[in-house]
Chain A
Amino acid sequence: EIVLTQSPGTLSLSPGQRASLSCRASQSISGNSLAWYQQKPGQTPRRLIYDASTRATGIPDRFSGSGSGTDFTLTISRLEPEDFAVYYCQQYVIIPRTFGQGTKVDIK
């Protein structure tokens, strides 16, 4: 099983600031088979990024993904009020599929 460790646990930022969220895997993720999801309170998760860096349809370009191997990053270039949420990374290279524990981005 691939364990995904996200950091930090909580990121306190102001609107307009840049957010960098880290996801580290316990073993190399081949093919960059890593996705990012956003979940707002009381809402269903939403896919943001797949294949480590491809934005899903309808996702604003302020969201970007990068990384390879064991280290991946989700960057939000300028935080909008609607971006304050919990973000999860997830690998889909092997079964079982696994998620990171989440990073909460909250308003400073």
Chain B
Amino acid sequence: EVQVVESGGGFIKPGGSLRLSCAVSGVTFINAWVSWVRQAPGKGLEWVGRIKSTTDGGTTDYAAPVKGRFTISRDDSKDMVYLQMNRLTTEDTAVYYCTHLREMTFADWGQGTLVIVSS
């Protein structure tokens, strides 16, 4: 069974930085594609970005609102994916979900971690 567990959310002031972590188990991690999806309070789902599997090059893609501020990375030795978020604004307040992709879709979701950006 695939398990996805996020951590690292919290309260941060505008302009600050935060790093979220995502542990993925139950899969061969070097083959795992992982995305981050966020959901602002009371709003819909928004794709943040993805990292391909190491076997597929480990490259990343980002949504326009976060490009240049957010960075997704992976540590295959720890079966972990990270979301480094810099220059945070109030618009980044959301629950951040880590998702494991299968058939190119968000098949396995973590429980989410809440990030609140406020002064």
B93 within 8 A of A: no
Q: How far is the CA of A50 from the CA of B118 in the complex (A)?
A: 37
Q: Which of B35, B64, B112 contacts A44 (CB 8 A)?
A: B112
Q: How far is the CA of A33 from the CA of B46 in the complex (A)?
A: 17
15 extra interchain contacts, Cβ-Cβ under 8 A, other than A35-B106, A44-B110, A99-B46?
Answer: A37-B45, A39-B45, A44-B97, A44-B109, A45-B37, A45-B109, A47-B107, A50-B104, A90-B45, A90-B47, A92-B104, A96-B62, A97-B47, A99-B44, A101-B44
Map CB proximity to B onto A31-59 as digits: 1 under 8 Å, 0 otherwise.
00101010100001111001100101000
B3 within 8 A of A: no
A/B interface sample: 7 pairs, CB < 8 A: A44-B112, A50-B105, A90-B45, A90-B105, A97-B35, A102-B44, A102-B45
* B44 & A44 in contact (Cβ 8 Å cutoff): no
Residue of A nearest to B108 (CB): A47
Residues in chain A near residue B46, CB distance under 8 A: 99
Q: How far is the CA of A95 from the CA of B104 in the complex (A)?
A: 12
* B47 & A51 in contact (Cβ 8 Å cutoff): no
B93-117, CB < 8 A from A? 97, 103-107, 109-112
Q: How far is the CA of A37 from the CA of B45 in the complex (A)?
A: 10
Q: Which 5 A-B pairs have the closest CB atoms?
A: A97-B47, A35-B105, A99-B45, A44-B109, A50-B105
Which residues does B use to contact A, with CB under 8 Å? 35, 37, 44-47, 50, 61-64, 97, 103-107, 109-112
* A96 & B106 in contact (Cβ 8 Å cutoff): no
* A92 & B105 in contact (Cβ 8 Å cutoff): yes
A54-89, CB < 8 A from B? 54, 56, 88
Q: How far is the CA of A102 from the CA of B107 in the complex (A)?
A: 18
Q: Which of B61, B106, B110, B112 contacts A90 (CB 8 A)?
A: B106
Residue of B nearest to A92 (CB): B104
Q: How far is the CA of A51 from the CA of B107 in the complex (A)?
A: 12
